[in-house]
Chain A
Amino acid sequence: MPTITYVQPDGTRREVEAPVGSTVMLAAVRNNVRGIDAECGGALACATCHVYVDPAWMDRIPPAGEDEADMLEGVAGERRETSRLSCQINVDAALDGLVVEIPAEQG
């Protein structure tokens, strides 16, 4: 199973096994990773699943769609080049080892 690492704003790291077919958001929420509220459960309706993707991984993940890109403009935390909504990142075998950082503020 692919492993994803979540880094908290204070630097704490947490590795989680994410089943293929789930999302970076679901793997976090189901495993008690703090700081990903995901209020809408992945319906692309809340922007409280914001993460920063490790720069080394940016071009290995399909880019944000139009709605996601628009929503990223309104996130509560700092907006960076590497900002993504984690409910829109599908887990597949190629994502094994992915590192994402959690913003200080979420919605």
Chain B
Amino acid sequence: MASGETERPRTTPDGPAPDGLVDSGLVVVGASHAGVQLAAAAREYGYPGPITLIGDEPDAPYQRPPLSKGFLAGKTSEPDLALRSDAFFAETGITLRPGTRAAAIDRAARRLHLADGTFLPYGHLALTTGARARPLPASFGEPPGGVLVLRDLADARRLREAAATARDVVVLGGGFIGLEVAAALASPAPDSPERRVTLAEGRPRLLARSASPELAEHVAARHRAAGVALHLGTAVDAIEQRDGRLAAVRLTDGTRLPADLLVVGIGVIPNTELAEAAGLACLDGIVVDRHARTEDPHILAAGDCTAHPSEFAGATIRLESIQNAQDQARTAAATIVGRAQPHIALPWFWSDQLGMKLQMAGLLDGTDRTVRREKPGGDGSDAKFSLWHFAGERLRAVETVNLPAEHMLSRRLLALADGPTPAQAADPGFDLRRLLKG
């Protein structure tokens, strides 16, 4: 496509009056959860100018969460992953350009330079560049065949293919992605070969960054029961290869694990390079305010790539979740059409593994006591319980296991100025829903 070629502006009756900014349009970089939501919301809120959504992945936008769940387990196929249809983009007048990489931002000229040498002029530029998988440290040298990460669909295809024949799998990292991968590979389809799955985590417990010790303990027990060998407090010490392929993994506790597949799930690096090179402030994320604005009035950012002030945390944080990507994208779209809709949403997250539905709402930082509520009737992976975390008397976070309705309730309770006290949460006779009335 020729440089600067875009769709004709559409005018909607309730949108802002077209001006110079709107004529150059909205360009969104990164066509995933945040970028698609941002473009769609801008149109929904009445943005009248052209909208161009570019993404460097070759595929049309797809859902990321199933990659480590149903897709890896072979239950979800590629067409099921689609985030939107072609008809959606046609109807909303959003020009989708997959396989297109942004190379540099010329802020003075308000042009986005693309890797193919062309450029797009913009009135507003939205950066939804997300994050990429953190690779093994360079000290391990060039990784041999059989060492994989999981962030995008191309990674997931490679991993699914490698897993089909792998017999000895090692997962490095006990965060959600590592655990979901271990879970999917430990429960193989009936016709696939028997596999040994080992998970090594450098910290002394699972989910150290994202869940409470109580929840991590339950998750660890379920993984052990599913046959996953857990090595906690141990990192990878060395990788042995034979003929350019992975042969074994040596752990810092001295264990040597023969391996034909190593999945590295040690977190992500936010894609801030484009913003940084343009002189925008970055701090483990592109720095934005509560309206998703960077310091440049024409440039916004949303999703995994941002460091943003959180009302709830009382600090600047970076989140990696669908909820944050979507809520912040809507805020950015509102800002672009001149509507104030600050990003103050309550953080929430879910993970499905080994048949368990884990959900968390709020943030654990600063919590100092926990109330556990049980719902009888299930055990093992069917156990149903919730963990209510307080800072003093104030409810700050709730983790639920197999209780999606209680998760929904907890989100409403967390939003209250007068939420439940620890004593109320601990009292099985107290109906928490009462607090919502009145």
Q: Which residues of A contact B (CB under 8 A)?
A: 21-22, 26, 29-32, 34, 39-41, 43-45, 47, 67, 70-71, 73-74
Q: Which residues of B contact A (CB under 8 A)?
A: 40, 44, 63, 65-66, 80, 82-85, 87-88, 91-92, 322-323, 326, 350, 352, 357, 359, 402-405, 407-409, 412
Q: Is the CB of B84 within 8 A of A30?
A: yes
Q: Is the CB of A67 within 8 A of B88?
A: no
- Given known contacts A41-B65, A45-B350, A32 and B404 CB-to-CB distance under 8 angstroms: no
Closest Cβ of chain B to A13, distance in Å, is 16
Q: Which residues of B contact A73 (CB under 8 A)?
A: 405
Q: Which residues of A contact B323 (CB under 8 A)?
A: 39
Q: Is the CB of B84 within 8 A of A29?
A: yes
Q: Which residues of B contact A32 (CB under 8 A)?
A: 40, 84, 87-88, 91-92
Q: Which of A21, A31, A41, A45 makes the CB contact (< 8 A) with B87? A: A31
What are 5 A-B contacts defined by CB distance under 8 Å?
A21-B80, A31-B85, A47-B408, A73-B405, A74-B408
**6 new A-B contacts at CB < 8 Å, known A40-B350, A45-B407:** A22-B80, A30-B82, A30-B84, A30-B88, A47-B408, A70-B405
Q: Is the interface of B mostly helix, strand, loop or mixed?
A: helix
Q: Which residues of A contact B352 (CB under 8 A)?
A: 43
Closest to B94 in A: A32
Q: Is the interface of A mostly helix, strand, loop or mixed?
A: loop
Q: Is the CB of A39 within 8 A of B326?
A: yes
Closest Cβ of chain A to B259, distance in Å, is 31
What's the Cα separation between A48 and B76 when bound, in Å? 22
Q: Is the CB of B87 within 8 A of A44?
A: no
Q: Which residues of A contact B65 (CB under 8 A)?
A: 40-41, 43
What's the Cα separation between A41 and B62 when bound, in Å? 10
Closest to B43 in A: A32
What's the Cα separation between A67 and B375 when bound, in Å? 13
Q: Which residues of B contact A45 (CB under 8 A)?
A: 350, 357, 359, 404, 407
Q: Which of B63, B91, B322, B404 makes the CB contact (< 8 A) with A67? A: B404
Q: Is the CB of B87 within 8 A of A67?
A: no
- Given known contacts A40-B350, A41-B322, A43-B352, A67 and B66 CB-to-CB distance under 8 angstroms: no
Q: Which residues of A contact B322 (CB under 8 A)?
A: 39-41
What's the Cα separation between A73 and B432 when bound, in Å? 13
Closest to B407 in A: A45
Closest to B79 in A: A19
Q: Which of B44, B83, B84, B409 makes the CB contact (< 8 A) with A34? A: B44
What's the Cα separation between A34 and B41 when bound, in Å? 11
Q: Is the CB of B92 within 8 A of A74?
A: no
Closest Cβ of chain A to B354, distance in Å, is 15
Q: Which residues of B contact A74 (CB under 8 A)?
A: 405, 408-409, 412
Closest to B86 in A: A30
Q: Is the CB of B87 within 8 A of A70?
A: no
Most chain A Cβ neighbours within 10 Å, of B80, B359, B408: B408
What's the Cα separation between A40 and B405 when bound, in Å? 14
